[in-house]
Structure 1
Amino acid sequence: MQQYHIPILYVLILLLGGTVVYINLIKEAPIQEVVFVNDSSGEQTTITIPEFTRVKLFDLPEGINFAGEPVPFDQDDIIERFEREIYVNAYWNSNTIMIMKRAAKFMPIIEPILAKHGIPEDFKYVALVESGLMNVVSPAGARGFWQFMDNTAKELKLEVSTEVDERYHLEKATEAACQYLKKAYARFGNWTSVAASYNMGITGLTKRKNEQQVPKYYDLLLNEETSRYIFRILAFKELFENPKTYGYELEKEQLYTMPKLKVIKVDSNINDLAAWSLKNNSNYKELKLYNPWLRSNKLTIKKGTSYEIKLPA
C-alpha cells in the first residue's frame, strides 16, 4: 500500500471526476490500495483504485450494406473510415443515447413516409445524421430534421415565411426529402450516391464523378465532410441494428414516445395563438412543441387554404 498526504486526494478527485466510466467498456483490471493521511488529524482513509482500465475494441461486422448496396470492406481505407465513425459514435455515449431515445419518438413518423414513396428505410439515418432528430439550424442556415436551405425548401413546395416554416414540419419535410431523393436516384441510379448527394448536392457529386471518371461513391476522393457522410450513416445503422454489441441496452420504457395528438383544421386567421391554444384546452408551449413550423405568435391564412394544428388529445 502507498501513503499520500491529503492534498493529493484533490488531484485524484479532479482526474477521476473528469473520466467518463461506461460500465460495458471497462474490463477487470488489477487494483491497488492507496492510504490518504489527513495532515491535521492523522486520520487515515484507504481506497482502492484500478491500476489501469482497458477500452473495449469491438468485433465489427464482416459486411454491411446501405439500402441493399454492399459496402466494399475489401478495401482497407473503407474499413478504416467505417471504424472511425463507429468508435466516435459508440463512445460518444451521451449523444448516442439521446439519439436512440429520440428515434423511438420520431422514426415511426418518418419510416412510413419513406415506404410510401419507395425510398429504402436506411434513409431514415440521413435525417438522423443531418440533425440528430432535432429542429436545429446549421451555420449556413439549413433548418429542421432534414436540413433544407431556404431556396431548396421552396423548390420542393415547402412554405417558408415569417409565420410558417414547413422545414420544421416533420411530415411535410419528409415528403419533400422523398421528392429530392427520387430525383437524385433518377440521376445516379444507386442509393449510395443519392445519400452522398444529399450532403454535397446532385450537381456537386456529378462534377466530382466526371472529374475523377469513376461512378461509385467509394472510389471518389471527396471533401472531408462528404467523405465521412456515408460512413456516419452506416455507423448509426450498425449501432441501431446491433445496440448490445456496442454496450447500449435501452429498455422500452426508457425511450421517448409521441403522446396521442388531436388534429384541428383551421381555415381562418388566428390573431393570438396563445389565446387560441387556451381555448382548445392546451397552452402556447404545447402548441409550439407539437407544431414547430408555426414561427410567429399569429397565423395568417390565405383564402381557400387551411392548416392542420396538432395538440395533445
Structure 2
Amino acid sequence: MNRIHLFVLYGLSLLALVLSLLLWKSQMVSNPELANVSSVPAGQWTNGVDSVRIFPIPRELEFAGEPVPLGDREIFERLEREIYVNAYWQSNMILLMKRSGKYLEEMSKILEANAIPDDFKYLAIAESALTNASSPAGAKGFWQFMPATAKEYGLEVSNDVDERYHWQKSTVSASRYLQKAYEKFGTWTAVAASYNMGQSGFSRRQREQLQENYYDLLLNEETSRYLFRILAFKVIFENPKAYGFSLDQTELYQNPPLSSIQVEENIKDLAQWTKDRGYTYKELKLYNPWLRQKKLSIPRGKSYLILLPEK
C-alpha cells in the first residue's frame, strides 16, 4: 500500500472519529438524562439504588472457640474476600439458608452429642451445600466421604445401600473422624483444614514449612480459601440482616414429620413395597437416598429403618 492510500485511510478514520464525537455531543444536549450521567471518581460510589454495598467485616472472630488472627492484614483480606464472594452470590446463599431449615438444628444436636464444636456444621455446608453431592473423585454425601474412609468410620457402602447418603449416620461418622483428627493436630482449625486436603497432606506441609498453625502455612489455593469459606458462612448465617438477607423462620424449608419403619427381611421390589403402604417410590427415595437400588437385600441379623412421612 503506497503513501497516498495510507493518508486517505488516515483521513477517513479521523473524519469518522470527529463525526462520532459530534453525534455524541448532540445526543447529550437533546437528552438531559444522558447529560446527567458522569463518571464516578475512584473510591466513590453513588447513593442510588444500584450502588455497590460495602459489608461490615468482623474485627474479632472465632472458629470452634479458637481466635482468627484478623489483626494480620493478609488474614483479614482473605476473610473479606470470601464474605463478598458469598454475600453477593445471593441466589446460592438464599437457597442455602432455606435448605438449612431441614438439617442444621438436628445436625447441631448430633455434633454436640459427639463432642464436636457446632461451627463444623458450616464445614458441611462448604463441602456439599447440604446436598447429596458427588465429586469426580468419588466422594459422596453431606460430608463427602470416600468409600474406604466411610467404611472405616462405620458406614455401609454396598450395592444396595450407601450410608454416605444417610446424612444423620454420616454426621455421626464425620464426628468420629473429626475427633480423631483433633487428637492428632490439637486444634480445630487444623482439623478443618486437614478435612479438605487430607491429614497426611496437611501434616506434610507442617513438617516442610516448620509451622504448626494453619494461618502461618502456605497451602494450595483450595485449602487456603477453605477455612475462610467456612468462616464466611458462619458470619453471614449468624448475622443475615447485616448482609442483606432477611428470611423469616417460616420461609425456611422443613421436612414433614417422619415415621420410621423397621425392615428385617429382603424387599424384592421397593416400588411395590411403598405402594402397598400408601406411598410413592419418589417419597421413598426422597427421604431415604441411601437406598441405591430398586430392591433391598438385608444380611442375616441386620435391619434398617426406612423414613416416610407420617400419614
TM-score interval for Structure 1 and Structure 2 normalised by the shorter chain? 0.7 to 0.9
Instruction: Report what 1:237 is aligned to.
Output: 234
| Deviation (angstroms), 1:283 | 0.8
- Asked if residue 208 in structure 1 is aligned to residue 198 in structure 2, the reply is no
Instruction: Indicate the residue corresponding to 2:59 in structure 1.
Output: 62
Distance 1:215 1:251 in 2: 42
- Greater relative contact order (Cα 8 A, min sep 6): structure 1 or 2? 2
Specify the alignment match of 1:108 in structure 2.
105
Counterpart among 160, 166, 174 of residue 163 in structure 1: 160
Q: Structure 1 length normalisation: TM-score?
A: 0.84
| Displacement of 1:210 | 0.8
Alignment match, 2:91 = 94
Asked if the contact 1:243–1:249 (Cα under 8 Å) also holds between the matched residues in 2, the reply is yes
Indicate yes or no: 2:278 matched with 1:281.
yes
Out of 216, 223, 227, the residue aligned to residue 226 of structure 1 is 223
User: Which amino acid letter does the alignment assign opposite residue 240 of structure 2?
Assistant: P
Are positions 1:293 and 2:290 aligned together? yes
Separation in 1, partners of 2:148, 2:240:
38
The residue number in structure 2 matching 1:181 is 178
Task: Return structure 1 stretches of 4+ with deviation > 3 angstroms.
Answer: 1-4
Deviation for aligned residue 1:28: 3.8
**SS of alignment partner, residue 145 of structure 1:** coil
SS in 1 for 2:260: strand
CA distance in 2, matches of 1:126, 1:170: 14
Q: 1:250 matched to which residue of 2?
A: 247
C-alpha distance in structure 1 between counterparts of 2:249 and 2:47, whole Å = 29
Whole-angstrom CA distance in 2 between matches of 1:134 and 1:200: 21
Partner Cα distance (1:292, 1:120) in 2: 27
Question: Which secondary structure state, in structure 2, belongs to the residue aligned with residue 263 of structure 1?
Answer: strand
How far did 1:156 drift?
Answer: 1.1
Measured in 2, the distance between the counterparts of 1:124 and 1:236 equals 10
What residue identity is the alignment partner of 1:68? G
Correspondence for 2:41: none
Offset of residue 240 of structure 1: 0.5
In the alignment, the residues of structure 2 paired with residue 280 and residue 180 of structure 1 have an alpha-carbon distance, to the nearest angstrom, of: 38
Q: Matched residue of 1:281: which SS?
A: coil
> In the TM superposition, what is the alpha-carbon distance from 1:251 to its structure 2 partner?
1.1
Query: C-alpha displacement at 1:282, in angstroms?
Result: 1.0
| Cα shift at 1:109 | 2.1
Q: Which residue of 2 aligns with 1:153?
A: 150
Kept in 2, the 8 Å contact 1:163–1:299? The answer is yes
TM-score (norm 2): 0.84
Q: Which residue of 2 aligns with 1:308?
A: 305
2:214 equivalent to 1:217: yes
Higher strand share: 1
Residue of structure 1 in register with 2:130 after alignment: 133
Q: Percent identical across equivalent pairs?
A: 57
CA deviation after TM superposition for structure 1 residue 139, in Å: 1.5
- SS class of match (2:207): helix
| 1:223-255 per-position Cα deviation (integer Å, ceiling 9, x unaligned) | 011000000000000000100000000011211
Higher Cα radius of gyration: 2
User: How many residues align structurally?
Assistant: 270
Deviations 1:82-113 (A, max 9, x none): 01100000000000000000111111221111
Per-residue deviation, residues 198-220 of structure 1 (Å, max 9, x unmatched): 11111111111111111100000
Q: In structure 2, give the amino acid aligned to 1:118.
A: A
Shift of 1:27: 6.7
Unaligned runs of 5+ in 2: 1-26, 32-44
Which whole-Å deviations, capped at 9, do the CAs of 1:116-164 have from their partners, x for residues lacking one?
A: 0110000000100000000010111110000001111111121111210
Contact 1:27–1:56 (CA<8 Å) still a contact in 2? no
Provide the residue aligned with 1:16 in structure 2.
none
Residue 262 (structure 1) aligns with:
259
Q: SS of the residue aligned with 1:121?
A: coil
Q: 3-state SS of the aligned residue for 2:130?
A: coil
Matched, 1:75 2:72: yes
